[in-house]
Amino acid sequence: MKTVIVVHGGVWAIPDMLAEASVAGVKNAAQAGNAILRNGGTATDAVEKAVRYLEDDPTFDADHVMLTDRGASMFAEHIGIPVANDLVTELERKDWEQSNSYPDGVKKFFNTQWSHDTIGAVALDSLGNVACATSTGEIRNKMVGRVRDSPIIGSGGYADNRSGAVSCTGHRESILKVTLARLILFHMEQGKSATAAASLQYMGERVKGCGGAIVVSSTGDWAASFTTPRMAWASIKEDVLHYGLNPKEDFTERLK
């Protein structure tokens, strides 16, 4: 098999004064990665080498999309967001004392009555715009500094006016591995209904992950799907409230 590597330095209105350096940078990065491939190295090592080269080149940089750790706290303080002093509820404290460790793996947490505290919403407005929101208190005993799927665009949530919006919940690493939210919208772009697109079968088969997703299409088609024992969900469309908790439940109420 012939080896191939492709490198980019970002799409933006590159000024003339950076044009030559930008071209030279990506060429050098491509050669650095190609050297790995020619010596029998893996594609993973090759792209890592190329990207590290670009990271060290002052011609290239990144714009802000996601902030974490101290940077996020500094930004929040700068724009006046109040500090939350205590986000631990009594129920959470008791559950934490019971769990204590993580010896039985993720499935134990998703098949017990311990809460997981992820919430999400998707919506379609009268102008045809869609939006998603995902927020989480997260599973217990996670490592310090762990970034879950919720803030990762395309994993915990994704919205595109041309297709729809998705919010996901479940085993975070599995959702990250299959970029679940974007995968669901891709299926919708291929013509699948919200219900068919929201199938979590692929994630279960590919990475043994369980979870749930809520979906709304740009035309108002919606779905709520999950592979865990329960997921509380609700939807309102044309003054009809749908809701459920257990598998295959779909209760309805007409709103006044």
Q: Sign of torsion, CA 148 150 156 159?
A: negative
Q: Cα dist. 177→67, 173, 182, 204, 232 in Å?
A: 21, 6, 11, 11, 24
Active-site entry in 3, 42, 68, 118: 118
Among 94-108, 177-191, 231-245, the range with the most confident prediction by mean pLDDT is 177-191
Cα 255 to the center of its chain, rounded Å: 33
pTM of the model: 0.75
Q: Active site includes 59? A: no
User: What mean pLDDT comes out for the span 19-27?
Assistant: 90
CB atoms within 10 A of CB 203: 24
Q: Which of 51-65, 99-113, 128-142, 191-205 is predicted most confidently?
A: 191-205
Q: How far is CA 70 from CA 63, 76, 128, in A?
A: 17, 10, 37
Mean pLDDT, all residues of the chain? 84
Q: Give, as one character, the DSSP assignment of residue 84.
A: P
| Res. 112: pLDDT tops 80 | no
Average pLDDT estimate for 18-22: 87
Q: 184 or 105, which is more confident?
A: 184
* The length of the chain, given as a count of residues: 256
Confidence of residue 251 (pLDDT cuts 50, 70, 90): very high
Within 13 Å, how many C-alpha atoms sit on residue 57's CB side? 21
Residue 110 has pLDDT above 80, yes or no: no
